Each structure stands twice: as structure tokens, then as C-alpha cells.
Amino acid sequence: MANDSGRHPWELNTLQRGLVDSCFEEGQYETAIATLNQLRSSEFNPWPPHLRQVIYISLQSTKDLATQHEIDTSIQASPSKLVKQHQYQMSLNLIPPKAVYDAQKLLMAYLLSSTPAALGRALPQRRSLIPPPPVHNEGDSTVARRAACIIQCRDCWEMLHTNFLLRQSAVPSAPKVKLKRQSEHIGYSKLDSTDLNASSPVVVTEDAWPLMEWLVSLFERDEELSETHPDARHSSLLAAQLLDDTDKAYFDIPITIIMHCLAQTQPQRQRLASRLLSLLINLTSTVELDLQGLIFAVYTRIHSLEQISLLISLLNQPSATQILKFRIGLCHRLISGLGPPATGNGPKPQPRIRARVTKAVDKQEPTTVDPPTTNRSSVPATSEILRLFQAPVPEEVQSGASLTPLWCKYQLLSVYGTFQARLTPADRDSEWSKTLAETLPRIVRDVFQQKGNEASVYQRLLENQIIGWQQLVGVVH
């Protein structure tokens, strides 16, 4: 095994790879996937081209398309006609629905047997690896050539996109011998033109939801295994999807995906929004990704009370300090703007991350990270929170607002109080401790009293929370 050229240590050897390749070349997709599952082990990393082929198969439709191109098996059909029909069906690359389901299951199984770094080698990313990864022979099968377009993507989000499926179908069935990679790049450049797809592209196609689930699970697993302080864990694989070599961050597509998830009716898809957003927020705890920039990027995409209430309810992780900071900042912006801003044509915010020493993702070297300090500069001061909480609501907003100001005020004070209660006495804002002990119950009554049934509910909830905060911080009213 050690003599296989171009093979990563602890990968499948040439004989094992050839066995899988033969199944793919013969169109035996279910057998190929079953073989990969049998060879799956914590001692051997999956070969990146094979993993890309499994990803490609997992993105295919589970509708039975073969019935549209059935082979004529009647007695009148000549053997030569049967051969031509079989060759035509092979050229269509019709993948059975069972193979698609098996590929989706295999991807999830790889999360249990392989490290995120090993799986991440098959994914495209914006940041270059040092040293560069070896160039693999993707294989000669139709599925191998079509799956090779994955490495042409700018990041993993592009695999979920409508245009990615169009790229797959545009890949020729037979590769050109000369300038293969150059011709592929030229073809993909042409595919980005507007005449390729006149309709609005979908950021997550219907057949890409299983892959979306796998990607989020992969980043969560990478974050879980991060050898950093427990409160500063983050996914380096996710960071590589957001940052290019100049440390410019690309948040537009991930946040668009988050909003697309929120618009779904299935609870599992809606939860993907909070899971992905939590991963993005956690990146701000250890690297110089501006939390306020992320808050603003999300804020500009909010268009209704239903969106923000669903997002905040799904983002319910009271033990995560960075999540609380995000919720405080978002509520602060909502109240400051008294509703979501109109989406304009101005430049989108591009938070930046400090330059770091880039390393190969297949080497999970431990890094030493100091415990994160919960500095109060990243959240508004108590005086600012109380100012917004007590600020009067303009009449035009009261008459018909898409975001209820009373709800925003309740969320702001509720999350801010929870955040302060979790801090150590040295980190806690002294003004908050004084207000909590002396005047906070009265302030809540003044804001919500005689404002209707909605305000009465918020008042009772906050009064109960205040009692709990006072007990936690050891103050007596």
C-alpha cells in the first residue's frame, strides 16, 4: 500500500479502487456503493474521487426516469437494436433511485468512520491548501467525469445550486485527450452566462437537501472535534468555504441559504437554518470575523416578523455565549431601525478574518487557543440597552409594523439579562447589577403596563426572569 503513487496514507489501495471503478464503468452503481460501504473503515480514508462520485450520485433525482427510455425487449427487436438501446441508456447516465438513496446513506455513514478532515479533501474550497493536494485521476466512467465538475466549484455551496446541476448535464460523456482541464474551465465559464438559465436560480435544489444536511453535519462534527477551548470551538472546514487566499469572507450565499431554509415548511429544513447560522456565529469566537458584520448581513435579509421570530426560536442555545451576543446584536439593530431595512443596491458587507498560517486540511494538528474573553465591547452597554428598551415607538410604526416593537424589546432585554447572568462578577457590567437590584422591575412595568394583551404577557415573562437573574447574581431587591 505504501508504494501506490499519489495515494494518501491509509487510503484504499490500487486493487480496491479498481474494483469500485469497474463497477462505476459498467453502470453498476448500487454495487459500487455497496463495495465502498464494505470497504468503509476508520483505518482507511475514502479516496477523494470516489467520494466526489458518491456526492454526485446523491444529487441525482430519485424519480424513476428510466421508464421514459425503456428498452424494447419485444421479440421483434434485433440484438443489434438492443445493444444500441443499451448504449443509449448508458449515455443518459440514468442512475436508479435506490443508488441515490444508498449514496446519501453512505455519506452519513462516512461521518461515523472518517474524520472531517479526510472527508473535506473531496470538497472544493476557496482557500488554497499548503502543500497543494495531489492531482487524482478521477476515473474513466461517465459518473467519474461528471463528478469531476465538483473540483471546479468555488465552494461547497455551489454544489447545492441550480447551475451546478446544469453543469453536470453539460459535461461531455467522453473526455478530450488534449487540454482536458483547460477545456473544462472554458466550458464552465460559458455556463455562467445568462442564457444558460433564464429563470432565477435556486440556492438549494429539491434533490440537494440531503447533501445540505450532510454538509452541515460535517461542519458540526469538525467543530465538535476541534482541539480548542470548549467555548471557542469552530469548524476550520467551514472557514475554508468562506475565505479566499486574501482573507476576504464570502457570506452572501450561506446567508441566502439560511433564509431559503427558513422559507421551507418542513421543520427539518428550517432547523438547518439555525444549525448553519450557529456554525457561522461560532467562527466569530476565535478568529477576527466581525460579529457585527455577520449580524448586519443577516439583518438586511429579514423581511417579516415570522422570519425573525422563527430564526430566534430555532437559535435557542442559552449556554452558548456567542449565540447570545448575536441575538443581542440582532435585536439591537431591529429596534434601532424599527423594522428590517429596505434591501438596496449598495455593496454587501464583507467581514474579514485575520490572516492565519494555512495548513492542509488532512492534517489535524492540534492548535493552542487561549480561552476566549467575553469582552463587553462586543455587546451594547447596559445604558444603551435600557435606552432602546424605554424608547417610545413612533405612531407610524405602531399602526402597522412588520416587526412588533414590543416583541423586539422583550427579546432584547430577555437575552441581554441571560447574557449578563452568565458572566463572572468581574466581567459583568456593574451598571446592570445595580439596575437589576434597584430599578429594572419598575422599568419593565413602565414599558409594558397598559399596552394591551401582548405587552402583559411580555411583562409577566420578564418579571419572572428578573427574579431568576437576581438569584443567580446574588442581588436582593
With respect to residue 30, please indicate whether it lies within any of the assigned structural domains: yes
Q: Is 119's pLDDT higher than 90?
A: yes
Which of 81-90, 155-164, 175-184, 370-379 bottoms out in mean pLDDT, i.e. has the lowest? 175-184
For residues 129-146, give the mean pLDDT. 72
Same domain membership, residue 407 and residue 348: no
Which of 57-66, 200-209, 445-454 bottoms out in mean pLDDT, i.e. has the lowest? 57-66
Residue 10, phi-psi category: left (phi > 0), alpha (psi -120 to 50), beta (remainder) = left
Question: What is the C-alpha to C-alpha distance for residues 281 and 341, in angstroms, rounded to an integer?
Answer: 22
Which of 56-65, 183-192, 290-299 bottoms out in mean pLDDT, i.e. has the lowest? 183-192
Same domain membership, residue 29 and residue 173: yes
Q: Which domain covers residue 334, as residue numbers?
A: 203-353
Same domain membership, residue 409 and residue 329: no
With respect to residue 358, please indicate whether it lies within any of the assigned structural domains: no
CB 296 within 8 A of CB 349: yes
Q: Comparing C-alpha atoms, which of 323, 460, 332 is closest to residue 408?
A: 332
Task: Provide the pLDDT for residue 307.
Answer: 80
With respect to residue 372, please indicate whether it lies within any of the assigned structural domains: no
With respect to residue 310, please indicate whether it lies within any of the assigned structural domains: yes
Helices (H), 284-344: 291-299, 305-314, 321-337
Task: Provide the pLDDT for residue 308.
Answer: 81
Same domain membership, residue 333 and residue 400: no
With respect to residue 128, please indicate whether it lies within any of the assigned structural domains: yes
Task: Provide the pLDDT for residue 202.
Answer: 86
Which of 9-18, 201-210, 212-221, 321-330 bottoms out in mean pLDDT, i.e. has the lowest? 9-18
Q: Is 161's pLDDT higher than 60?
A: yes
With respect to residue 127, please indicate whether it lies within any of the assigned structural domains: yes
3-state secondary structure of 256: helix
Helices (H), 243-375: 252-262, 267-283, 291-299, 305-314, 321-337
Same domain membership, residue 349 and residue 215: yes
Q: Is 373's pLDDT higher than 80?
A: no
Same domain membership, residue 419 and residue 349: no
Q: Is 189's pLDDT higher than 50?
A: no
CB 289 within 8 A of CB 351: yes
For residues 96-105, give the mean pLDDT. 96
- Chain center to CA of 8: 27
More confident residue, 476 or 211: 211
Question: What is the C-alpha to C-alpha distance for residues 417 and 318, in angstroms, rounded to an integer?
Answer: 11
Which residues fall within 8 angstroms of residue 325, CB to CB, at 6 or more apart? Answer: 291, 378, 379, 419
Q: Comparing C-alpha atoms, which of 21, 50, 37, 58 is closest to residue 141?
A: 21
Q: Comparing C-alpha atoms, which of 393, 394, 390 is closest to residue 413?
A: 390
With respect to residue 346, please indicate whether it lies within any of the assigned structural domains: yes
Q: Is 168's pLDDT higher than 50?
A: yes
What does pLDDT average to over the chain?
Answer: 78
Task: Provide the pLDDT for residue 43.
Answer: 84
- 309: cell is 421570530
Q: Is 407's pLDDT higher than 80?
A: yes
Q: What is the largest CA-CA distance in the chain?
A: 94
Task: Provide the pLDDT for residue 99.
Answer: 96
Read off the pTM: 0.78
CB 401 within 8 A of CB 353: no
3-state secondary structure of 297: helix
3-state secondary structure of 266: coil
CB 318 within 8 A of CB 325: no
- 322: cell is 456567542
Same domain membership, residue 121 and residue 95: yes
Q: Is 469's pLDDT higher than 90?
A: yes
Task: Provide the pLDDT for residue 371.
Answer: 41
Tally the domains of the chain.
3
Q: Is 449's pLDDT higher than 90?
A: no
Task: Provide the pLDDT for residue 34.
Answer: 97
Same domain membership, residue 184 and residue 231: no
- Burial of residue 412 (CB within 10 Å: 0-12, 13-18, 19+) is buried
Task: Provide the pLDDT for residue 447.
Answer: 94
With respect to residue 414, please indicate whether it lies within any of the assigned structural domains: yes
Question: What is the C-alpha to C-alpha distance for residues 53 and 259, in angstroms, rounded to an integer?
Answer: 29
Which of 31-45, 55-69, 271-285 bottoms out in mean pLDDT, i.e. has the lowest? 55-69
Same domain membership, residue 246 and residue 166: no
Task: Provide the pLDDT for residue 9.
Answer: 55
Which of 37-51, 266-280, 343-357 bottoms out in mean pLDDT, i.e. has the lowest? 343-357
Same domain membership, residue 176 and residue 30: yes
Same domain membership, residue 305 and residue 245: yes
Same domain membership, residue 343 and residue 210: yes
